[in-house]
């Protein structure tokens, strides 16, 4: 077994590449590939023993620090090498398969969750009329309706009235990603990229008692 300068087992190229593949799939579709290589270089050793549920947050934190020009060039070179190597691709797929099993992730489950958002009907979450807005109690929401809700928070109006702010996940974004999974092409990717910031936002205020 080869050791590094600190006497620890040296990672093989395919090991680093497998991590690269895992990180790449945790990043947004629009992220450049070299971002994944930067993460592997910065926290690759930590990812080896990290629980699956903490990996996504660790990746985001690793990219909070600005990337230098030198680091970008080096990472881009590594990313191109890892992506084009057949042995590396196989190592990536094995790593993804292991992580997917550990996190109970599958393509079918991912597509089902995207479909819940993309085909959500806001009337399953609330109703409205001239008299105002009425929310459905969370305990009464169907699983499909609950999956489409991104955020719920209490707000106060200018007159002190209490209200509830409901934010739904983006339907165009979910449908764009789902379209890309069903039939990968540039048009679908463009649809995803153009709708990343679209959200449904509903707000109402309860009358003061």
pLDDT confidence of residue 105: 67
pLDDT confidence of residue 118: 92
Please tell me the number of Cα atoms within 13 Å of 6 on its side-chain side: 4
All structural domains of the chain with their residue ranges: 13-104, 110-205
Q: Which residues face 135 on adjacent strands?
A: 126
pLDDT confidence of residue 95: 62
| pLDDT 10s digits, 16-41 | 777 777 787 777 766 788 898 899 88
CA 60 to CA 131: how far, in whole Å? 44
Contact by Cβ (8 Å): 62, 43: yes
Pairing relationship of beta strands 132-135 and 126-129 according to DSSP bridges: antiparallel
Q: What is the mean pLDDT of each run of 10 residues along the chain (209 residues)?
A: 43 63 73 86 80 82 92 89 70 64 73 91 91 89 92 83 87 86 54 39 44
Among 118, 116, 119, 97, which residue's Cα sits nearest to residue 106? 97
């Amino acid at each position: 077994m080869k050791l590094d300068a600190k006497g620890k087992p040296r990672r093989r190229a395919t090991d680093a590449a497998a991590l690269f593949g895992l990180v790449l799939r945790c990043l947004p579709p629009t992220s450049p590939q070299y971002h994944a290589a930067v993460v592997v270089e910065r926290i690759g050793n930590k990812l080896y023993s990290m629980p699956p549920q903490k990996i996504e947050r660790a990746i985001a934190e690793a990219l909070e620090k600005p990337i230098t020009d030198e680091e970008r060039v080096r990472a881009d070179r590594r990313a191109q090498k890892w992506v084009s190597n057949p042995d590396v691709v196989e190592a990536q797929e094995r790593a993804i398969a292991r992580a997917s099993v550990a996190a109970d992730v599958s393509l079918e489950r991912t597509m089902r969750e995207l479909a819940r958002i993309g085909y959500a009907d806001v009337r399953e979450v609330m109703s409205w009329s001239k008299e105002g807005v009425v929310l459905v109690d969370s305990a009464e929401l169907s699983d499909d309706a609950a999956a489409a809700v991104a955020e719920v928070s209490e707000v106060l109006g200018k007159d002190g009235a209490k209200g509830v702010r409901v934010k739904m996940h983006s339907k165009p974004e979910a449908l764009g990603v789902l379209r890309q999974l069903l039939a990968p092409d540039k048009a679908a990717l463009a649809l995803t990229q153009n709708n990343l910031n679209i959200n449904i936002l509903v707000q109402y205020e309860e009358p003061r008692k």
